[in-house]
């Protein structure tokens, strides 16, 4: 019996030592789940692995629509999410715990018309079937462009489509034009089916498009994780923007798009990470437009909805 007790005691000591030894390793392998869209200007997360420090692992989760990405952040299915300013603003205005902590990209959108049609301006789209994704940044920008031309959404026939459906719908002849996101516009142009009517960046919103977000609880409970993540985001963004060949190769590999299409789209994509006063002013204008068009009932609380604390720290440490 003493021998049995000694053996059991030895097992317990060995097991305890194993747990004590294994715990730091398990804790060091922290997985950061990042949601992004299946778009060229949302490609940055696929470069994160190259800049992830020891002790962390990146898992990229692709989404089809901005709303899917926003909901994943709200439900904490992902730790961070990249999607359009529109979806983020919708969530913030509804009191959902989504916080913008950085920028993801500027530009990346275009109003595309049929190549064989005479339409060559927003005004000439009157009465035409226009593919639009409701709840997208592109929708609000297009509505603002219509307003600048003395038009409203009632002056066109709005057809609900996801970004990925737009080039095919135009090719079939289902729509006359669409307000798309890259690579859609470049696919249509590359196939000879479409032409860019306008890059709609001349509204007060400018070229602001996608944002990087997290859950409000993460801001409070995991500030160090946010700083680690945003440093990864900064390095990956700068690398992708300064290495066109790598940008093209990654976009083609992850999105299944021919490299020639990515080459056409690349000049219309500005991957970014910074948030400055000008960016914030444009984002607030954008929110005011959503309120004016009754897409939201109230503005987000911008004091907490856009948190520049962490991105400023990353910029200062650069």
pLDDT tens for each residue of the chain, 318 residues long = 444 444 444 444 444 444 444 444 445 589 999 999 999 999 999 999 999 999 999 999 999 999 999 999 999 999 999 999 999 999 999 999 999 999 999 999 999 999 999 989 999 999 999 999 998 899 999 999 999 999 999 999 999 999 999 999 999 999 999 999 999 999 999 999 999 999 999 999 999 999 999 999 999 999 999 999 999 999 999 999 999 999 999 999 999 999 999 999 999 999 999 999 999 999 999 999 999 989 999 999 999 999 999 999 999 988
Q: Residue 50: its pLDDT value, please?
A: 97
Q: Residue 28: its pLDDT value, please?
A: 59
Tens-digit pLDDT profile for residues 63-76: 999 999 999 999 99
Cα–Cα distances in angstroms (integers) from residue 156 to residues 125, 126, 179, in the given order: 7, 5, 12
Average pLDDT over all residues of the chain: 91
Q: Residue 119: its pLDDT value, please?
A: 87
Distance CA 68, CA 71 (A): 5
- What are 252's strand-pairing partners? none
Q: Residue 27: its pLDDT value, please?
A: 52
Distance CA 24, CA 197 (A): 56
Residue 125's CB: how many other CB atoms inside 10 A? Answer: 27
Q: Residue 29: its pLDDT value, please?
A: 81
């Amino acid at each position: 019996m003493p021998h049995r007790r000694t053996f059991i005691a030895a097992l317990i000591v060995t097991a305890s030592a194993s747990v004590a030894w294994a715990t730091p390793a398990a804790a060091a392998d922290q997985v950061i789940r990042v949601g992004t869209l299946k778009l060229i200007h949302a490609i940055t997360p696929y470069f994160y692995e190259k800049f992830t420090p020891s002790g962390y692992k990146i898992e990229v989760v692709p989404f089809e629509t901005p709303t899917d990405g926003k909901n994943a952040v709200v439900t904490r299915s992902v730790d961070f999410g990249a999607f359009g300013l529109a979806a983020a603003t919708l969530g913030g205005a509804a009191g959902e715990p989504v916080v913008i902590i950085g920028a993801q990209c500027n530009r990346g959108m275009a109003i595309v018309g049929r190549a064989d049609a005479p339409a060559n301006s927003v005004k000439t789209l009157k009465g035409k079937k226009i593919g639009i994704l409701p709840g997208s940044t592109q929708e609000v920008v297009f509505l603002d462009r219509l307003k600048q031309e003395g038009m409203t959404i009632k002056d066109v026939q709005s057809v609900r489509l996801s970004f990925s459906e737009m080039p095919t719908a135009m090719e079939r002849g289902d729509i006359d034009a669409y307000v798309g996101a890259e690579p859609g516009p470049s696919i249509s142009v590359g196939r000879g089916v479409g032409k860019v009517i306008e890059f709609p960046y001349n509204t007060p919103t400018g070229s602001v498009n996608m944002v990087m977000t997290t859950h409000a609880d993460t801001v409070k409970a995991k500030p160090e994780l946010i700083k680690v993540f945003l440093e990864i985001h900064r390095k990956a963004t700068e690398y992708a923007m300064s290495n066109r060949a790598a940008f093209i190769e990654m976009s083609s590999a992850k999105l299944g798009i021919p490299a020639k299409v990515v080459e056409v789209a690349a000049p219309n994509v500005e991957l970014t990470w910074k948030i400055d006063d000008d960016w914030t002013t444009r984002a607030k204008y954008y929110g005011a437009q959503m309120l004016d068009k009754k897409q939201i009932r109230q503005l987000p609380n911008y004091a907490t909805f856009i948190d520049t604390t962490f991105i400023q720290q990353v910029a200062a440490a650069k």
